[in-house]
């Protein structure tokens, strides 16, 4: 039986994992044929609108409270999200955005590419002794990558989300070169984050993500967590 490392060891060893070759993959994947059909149009749209977007900056102290817009499966992890955010200096609402899109709170989620856990972390980000599905370990590895992506993006949340999904190298790449999945990821994530930090009680962008297929991810998480909505 694999065993989770201590929380202190997790945060201390996270900095040792410096691989930036692969990002953390979204738990929601549109079928390949759909990607082929819409990818070029999405890339063109993102390129045309990127210069009009306003970068959202993470404040140095981060948000104190978690927004109510997130689904019950993510709210289930509220205490842990606040703890992980405090340990990393991240805004808990940004931490929640990543969890929302990646796993909707399912600690056992696994993507076809091999990404694991709450933050859908790729295998090469773990130490040999890690339990990748252990929430604290998964958070330590995933949020360390998010911090590095934010640093590379100059705290531009939308760019950092692209780096988290597709690899930090995408932060400095032309947006026309982003994969269609990364374009969607940055679109959904930045919109949900903007709604969360605005103090809104609901998120149209989150509703759009749910309608676009995210609800199936949340149904799976709900079953794993035993939440009665």
Annotation marks residue 102 as catalytic: yes
CA distances from 139 to 73, 95, 135, 190 (A): 16, 9, 6, 20
Count of domains for the chain: 1
**Is position 161 within any domain?**
yes
**Is position 215 within any domain?**
yes
CATH code of residue 109:
1.10.530.10
**Is position 195 within any domain?**
yes
- pLDDT at position 39, please? 46
DSSP string over 122-166:
-GGGS-TT--TTSHHHHHHHHHHHHHHHHHHTTTBHHHHHHHHHH
Beta-bridge partners for 156: 57
- pLDDT at position 112, please? 86
Cα gap 115→103, rounded to integer Å: 10
What pTM does this model have?
0.77
**Is position 10 within any domain?**
no
- pLDDT at position 68, please? 97
- pLDDT at position 174, please? 84
**Is position 8 within any domain?**
no
- pLDDT at position 105, please? 97
Domain with 98, as residue range(s), is 68-123+130-229
**Is position 12 within any domain?**
no
> Which one of the listed residues 18, 73, 102, 181 is annotated catalytic?
102
**Is position 37 within any domain?**
no
**Is position 171 within any domain?**
yes
- pLDDT at position 227, please? 84
Q: What are phi and psi of 116, to 5 degrees?
A: -130, 145
CA distances from 149 to 12, 116, 146, 176, 195 (A): 18, 19, 5, 19, 21
How does pLDDT run along the chain (229 residues), one tens digit per residue?
Answer: 222 223 334 444 444 443 344 566 444 433 344 443 444 444 444 443 433 343 444 444 444 789 999 999 999 999 999 999 999 999 999 999 999 999 999 999 998 888 999 999 998 889 999 999 999 999 999 999 999 999 999 999 999 999 999 999 999 988 899 999 999 999 999 999 999 999 999 999 999 999 999 999 999 999 999 886 5
């Amino acid at each position: 039986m694999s065993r989770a490392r201590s929380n202190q060891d997790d945060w201390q060893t996270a900095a040792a994992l410096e691989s930036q070759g692969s990002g953390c993959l979204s738990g929601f994947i549109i079928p390949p044929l759909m990607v082929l059909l819409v990818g070029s149009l999405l890339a063109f749209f993102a390129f045309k609108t990127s210069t009009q977007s306003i970068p959202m900056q993470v404040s140095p102290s981060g948000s104190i409270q978690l927004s109510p817009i997130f689904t019950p499966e993510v709210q289930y992890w509220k205490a842990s999200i606040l703890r992980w955010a405090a340990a990393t200096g991240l805004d808990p609402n940004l931490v929640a955005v990543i969890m929302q899109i990646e796993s909707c709170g399912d600690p056992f989620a696994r993507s076809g590419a091999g990404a694991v856990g709450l933050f859908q972390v790729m295998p090469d980000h773990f130490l040999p002794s890690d339990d990748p599905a252990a929430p604290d370990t998964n958070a330590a590895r995933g949020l360390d990558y998010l911090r590095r992506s934010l640093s590379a993006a100059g705290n531009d949340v939308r760019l950092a989300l692209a780096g988290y999904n597709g690899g930090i190298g995408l932060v400095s790449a032309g947006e026309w070169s982003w994969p269609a999945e990364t374009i969607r990821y940055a679109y959904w994530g930045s919109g949900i984050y903007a709604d969360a930090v605005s103090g809104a009680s609901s998120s149209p962008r989150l509703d759009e993500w749910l309608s676009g297929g995210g609800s199936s991810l949340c149904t799976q998480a709900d079953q794993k967590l035993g939440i009665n909505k």
